Structure 1
């Protein structure tokens, strides 16, 4: 049995040619063995009609086995020739023949320089892809943070709305006006505190100067 790999033939037929030949060999062997058993049974029936012929069943079996060995040797010699014929002529795809799915390789020939160029371009694209993935992750993180801030702002606006509603229900002025008034008052208080602080520092400076005199 040939052990030469026939990958292209396997791709075309869907099975290895060696497997096909082996199955044929086993089928012929089984058929030969079955045929000799039939012949042996016929001989035994003939012997039963002649009880004084001097041939017993064991002698018939020995003869059958010898004949099987002889025929099997001749069959193996013939099958070796048939195997070569099958593998070289019947189950062989010529080297100048391309399968339909491989014809694209004949139409798209490329050199080593072109291959190296494609490899370099692919590496550059991989770097760009990784950079875009990182940028996308950063944008997603920022978007998530903005969503959190927006949710917090929504809570604050809801709180302002509820406070404004409560103020209106109790006859108070508008809440936004109240906050604006508070802001103005706070600014005035800050200005007054600054003036007082300046006067205090000036007064403290005068007292120090008088003590020095």
Structure 2
């Protein structure tokens, strides 16, 4: 069998020419074996019909095997010539012929350096795409967080609106002023509470001394 990989022919046919020839060889060889068995069977029947024949079936088998070896040797020589003709003339693509899918390389030729540069650029673009995808995912997460914060702020504003309505119902004209007064009153209450706690501590200390 040929040792030439015939890669371009394999690309065109979809299979290696050597594999095709090997299948032909196996098919012809199997057919040769079957024919020899048929011939042997016919010879045995003829011998059975001859009265007083001294030729045994084992002798017929030996003769068949010798003839098979003889035929196989000649078949191998013939097949080697046939393989050479088929691989070189029938299934061989000339060096100056380009397949349709490879004609673009003839129109736009490039060197190994240019191809490597394209590969590097492609890798950089892929990394940029991954970075942009990660950034987009982070932005989406931030938007979701902002939506949640906005919803909470709307609840707080609704609460303030409710308080302002209550103040208006009770005669307060401005919620901000009412809220400021409420904060001042709260601060005064905290001061009074602090003063009461200090006096209570002093009284407890005096009770201990007595």
TM range, smaller chain: 0.7 to 0.9
Residue 11 (1) aligns with residue 47 (2): no
Q: 1:63 to 1:120 in 2, by over 3 A?
A: closer
Correspondence 1:47 to 2:44:
no
> Given the alignment of the two structures, is residue 20 of structure 1 paired with residue 20 of structure 2, yes or no?
yes
Match of 2:175 in 1: 179
2:67 counterpart residue number: 67
**Within 2, Cα distance between the matches of 1:134 and 1:15?**
44
Greater Cα shift, 133-142 or 44-53: 133-142
Deviation per residue, 1:60-99 (Å, 9 max, x gap)? 1111111001101111111111111111111111121111
TM-score, normalisation: structure 2: 0.73
2:40 and 2:60 in contact (8 A); partners too:
yes
- Aligned-residue offset at 1:141: 4.2
Distance 2:84 2:93 in 1: 14
Q: In the alignment, which residue of structure 2 is the partner of 1:98?
A: 98
| Deviation by residue 1:91-139 (Cα, 9 ceiling, x = unmatched) | 1111211111111111111346655664665566456546645653553
Listed as ranges, the matches of 1:19-38 within 5 Å are: 19-38=19-38
CA RMSD of aligned residues (A): 3.2
In the alignment, structure 2 segments of 5+ residues that lack a partner are: 189-210
Contact 2:164 2:175 in 1 (8 A): no
Query: Matched residues in 2 for 1:164 and 1:183: separation?
Result: 9
Unaligned runs of 5+ in 1: 194-213
Q: Secondary structure at 2:54's aligned position in 1?
A: coil
Cα shift at 1:42: 1.1
